[in-house]
Amino acid sequence: MKPNHASTQPIGIFDSGIGGLTVAHAIVRYLPKENIIYFGDTAHLPYGDKSTAAIQAYSVKIAHMLLQQECKLILIACNSASAAAYELVKEYIGSKALVTNVIDPTVRLLKEKYASRHIGLIGTRQTVNSHIYKKKIDELNLNIRLSSHATNLLASAIEEFGDHQVLDSLLRVYLSHPNLRNIDALVLACTHYPVIKNKILEQYVSSNHNTIDIIDSSDIVAQAVKKQLETHNLLNANGVCSKHFYVSDYTESFAANARLFFGEEITLEHYPLWD
């Protein structure tokens, strides 16, 4: 597939809220000349407790908007939306732009580094119940044992409190679950979770008395996006990394977190998905 877009066109990134900012920030680090358009669907967050049909409707609507912005690549920076809507979005976009998700690059890392290991995974109920990671990992046939646990309140708590000690008790309950014992690594299968990555590791060690690898998809996905753009000769060699942020509902927490992530003043443009 070869999109009809010049290399100077932007990368479109979307998530239900601030979670995708972890991926967007990594992309800015790895691809400092790329122009970024970010859509935070704050009116419908979190996606993790929404139905598959609802997530698909939101995702296609956002993808349409990003196509109107002439994005050369659309990144679904949300595990729940990647699980529920990636194939549908890809079909809807067709050859108009590249489409990628946050699940496949993480599975590729597991393939390369964790054969015959016991892997834990935490994510939203939507992501865990889709069994998409298990299906993809089983297809590798590398004797990787996956133990998943839905940590459904985490994304909303991170949206509300960020990296605050109020999350400690929540993490203590989640990370002491029997499914997550005796694992070699823990996949953070929600793009909100890297915001509290260090806290997750500390609480896991405290609850289980052993250390593990934390698999944060942000850098992994950014590297995959870079490789995809290189493959299609779409890297921007002359850009200045302009950043444009849209939200479906204005929230001060999103604005504050965007400023924190990028260390600069951020202007949010209100773009309701449905009038």
Give the per-residue pLDDT at 159. 84
Q: Given this model, what pLDDT does residue 1 score?
A: 40
3-state DSSP assignment of residue 191: coil
Annotated binding-site residues for substrate read 15-16, 47-48, 79-80, 191-192
pLDDT value of residue 194: 92
Its pTM surpasses 0.85: yes
Around 206, how many Cα atoms within 13 Å sit in the side-chain half-sphere?
Answer: 13
3-state secondary structure of 211: coil
Please say whether the beta carbons of 116 and 38 come within 8 A.
Answer: no
Q: Which residues are catalytic?
A: 78, 190
**Which residues of the chain carry a pLDDT beneath 70?**
1-5, 275
Structure token digits, residue 225 = 């996006």
Q: pLDDT at position 135, please? A: 97
Per-residue pLDDT, 100:
97
Three-state SS at 100: strand
CA distance 247 to 129: 27
Is the separation of the CB atoms in 75 and 13 below 8 Å?
yes
**pLDDT value, residue 45:** 87
Nearest alpha-carbon partner for 26 in 233, 188, 238: 188
What pLDDT does 33 receive? 95
Q: Return the CATH number of 104-217, one of 3.40.190.150, 3.30.830.10, 3.40.50.720, 3.40.50.1860.
A: 3.40.50.1860
* b/e sequence 69-81, b meaning 16+ C-beta within 10 Å: ebbbbbbbbbbbb
β-pairing, 36-40 with 11-15? parallel
What are the angstrom distances between the C-alpha of 253 and each of 80, 123, 200, 215? 21, 21, 21, 26
* 104: helix, strand or coil: helix
Query: Residues at the annotated binding site?
Result: 15-16, 47-48, 79-80, 191-192
Cα–Cα nearest to 222, from 258, 266, 191, 261: 191
Residue intervals of the chain classified under CATH 3.40.50.1860 are 11-101+219-270, 104-217
What is the structure's pLDDT at 4? 39
CATH topology of domain 11-101+219-270: Rossmann fold (3.40.50)
The C-alpha atoms of residue 183 and residue 198 are separated, in whole angstroms, by 17
- Rg value, the chain, Cα: 18
Torsions phi, psi of 160, nearest 5? -80, -40
pLDDT attached to residue 275? 62
Q: Which helix (H) or strand (E) holds 245?
A: strand 243-247
What pLDDT does residue 63 have?
Answer: 98
Coil, helix or strand for 275? coil
SS3 239: coil
The conformation of residue 209, written as its DSSP 8-state character, comes to: S
